[in-house]
Amino acid sequence: MRTQTLSPARAITATPTRKRYFIMVLLFITVVINYLDRSNLSIAAPALTRELGIDAVHAGLIFSAFGWTYAAMQLPGGWLVDRVPPRVLYAVALALWSIATICLGFVGSFVGLFVLRMAVGALEAPAYPINSRVVTAWFPEKERATAVGFYTSGQFVGLAFLTPILAWLQTAFGWHMVFVVTGGVGVLWAVIWYWVYREPRDFKGVNQGEIDLIKAGGGLVDIQAESAKSGFNWADLGIVLSKRKLWGIYLGQFCLNSTLWFFLTWFPTYLVKYRGMDFIKSGLLASLPFLAAFIGVLCSGFFSDWLIRRGHTVGFARKLPIIAGLLISTSIIGANYVESTPLVIAFLALAFFGNGLASITWSLVSTLAPARLLGLTGGTFNLIGNLSAIATPIVIGFLAAGESFAPAITYIAVLALLGALSYILLVGKVERIEL
């Protein structure tokens, strides 16, 4: 399937096709599935831990298992992203992590849960670097934050609308089916992705006008051909670990993800165990902060690209919603000082709205990373950012080992503040790093 050939004269005047927006939808659906497979354990946790006799500390270890291998595999995953076409790599990774998810429904021990969650983490490692790679190839700079915001919203909208369904599924059929159903959907989508996805020049229906529009706007439509030429070089890793502005986004991502991983792991348990809500009610209430985050991330992408179209610099347009969102996320501490359920949910929803508003951070990876090291930079960014997937569940497990969850909430608020300071003090001017 090759792009139709146009003469130079026609290429200049041809109205660009809009197949890139279809790619945006494909990424959105993939991210929905990705995050269902990350968070399904939190839905099953109250019943699972009770049935298997798992305490808070060991529950924290199970929650963290995903993060150990997810972080460890970021650099190998990023290296693969620079060399294996997204059509193949995403399909294989999706199918394998979904099979591991299905297997979670058939284990009955702490060790089995821990090992399988480690497998899911390792196999999901290339996912977000692939997303970044696809967006960089398919979208010009002025549309990139909107694309990132749209597909990132999938991690929230899926949980906002599907969490009550998963809660019902568990109540009706048991916690085992939560894993079987979410994993089964992933296997099906892996087949669809491989069947549908292509690179810009190979995607059916894309005309030269759209290719030219993407290239003129800073999109790297030929990125696969360029990056596949070189092998791994330790000096390249030194480059992505030696730039101050990259460390600004690395540390900022760790802080941003700490709030996210609270919601992906301990949040339902917080509502049920520490706020005394029944499971069905908590399933419905748990969807509200995810809906708020969904609204936040959509606002962020559109607002950021609107600022660029109004003539503001890329740095201002990207950093403003990120910094503002992280500062808003500190409002989570308000949940420590109220007893009313609506007020607790309101503070949590406001904090997660801020997290969504700040979630276009991958647009800065696309803008700052050296062109031939996009995958490696993305892998490093995701590695450091997702150390929070290890730290947050474990730290909260120890902080919440007593009767109060307030120290854990305070921990999340402090990290959000530190994340804002990282973007303010370290990132500096936003421009691609040239080698």
Q: What is the pLDDT of residues 333-352, one digit of tens each?
A: 998 898 887 888 899 999 99
- pLDDT of res. 140: 84
Nearest to 354 by CA among 332, 320, 329, 334: 329
- pLDDT of res. 216: 75
Coil, strand or helix: which one is 8?
helix
For residue 224, being part of any structural domain is answered with no
For residue 393, being part of any structural domain is answered with yes
- pLDDT of res. 6: 45
Mind listing the pLDDT tens digit for each residue in 28-65?
A: 999 988 888 877 887 777 777 777 777 777 877 888 88
> With a cut of 50, which residues of the chain have pLDDT below it?
1-13
- pLDDT of res. 17: 80
Contact 146, 305 (CB under 8 A): yes
- pLDDT of res. 12: 42
Give Cα separations from 68 to 122, 186, 390 (angstroms): 8, 22, 6
For residue 230, being part of any structural domain is answered with no
For residue 112, being part of any structural domain is answered with yes
Coil, strand or helix: which one is 267?
helix
For residue 228, being part of any structural domain is answered with no
For residue 433, being part of any structural domain is answered with no
Q: How many CB atoms sit inside 10 A of residue 239's CB? A: 17
- pLDDT of res. 250: 92
Could you tell me the CATH number of the domain that includes residue 109? Answer: 1.20.1250.20
Continuous segment of H or E residues that includes residue 255: helix 244-265
Mind listing the pLDDT tens digit for each residue in 88-147?
A: 999 999 999 999 999 988 887 788 888 999 999 999 988 888 888 888 888 887 787 778
3-class SS shares of the chain: helix, strand, coil, % to 5: 80, 0, 20
Residue listed under structure tokens 């048991």:
174
For residue 229, being part of any structural domain is answered with no
Give Cα separations from 10 to 13, 65, 202, 209 (angstroms): 5, 55, 19, 9
Give Cα separations from 84 to 5, 26, 76, 224, 236 (angstroms): 26, 19, 12, 8, 18
* Domains of the chain: total: 1
Task: Quickly list H helices, 82-175.
Answer: 86-104, 110-124, 127-138, 141-173
- pLDDT of res. 353: 94
Q: What's the mean per-residue pLDDT of the chain?
A: 81
Contact 350, 328 (CB under 8 A): yes
- pLDDT of res. 283: 56
For residue 110, being part of any structural domain is answered with yes
DSSP tag of 15: P
Structural domain that includes position 378: 14-219+237-425
- pLDDT of res. 8: 43
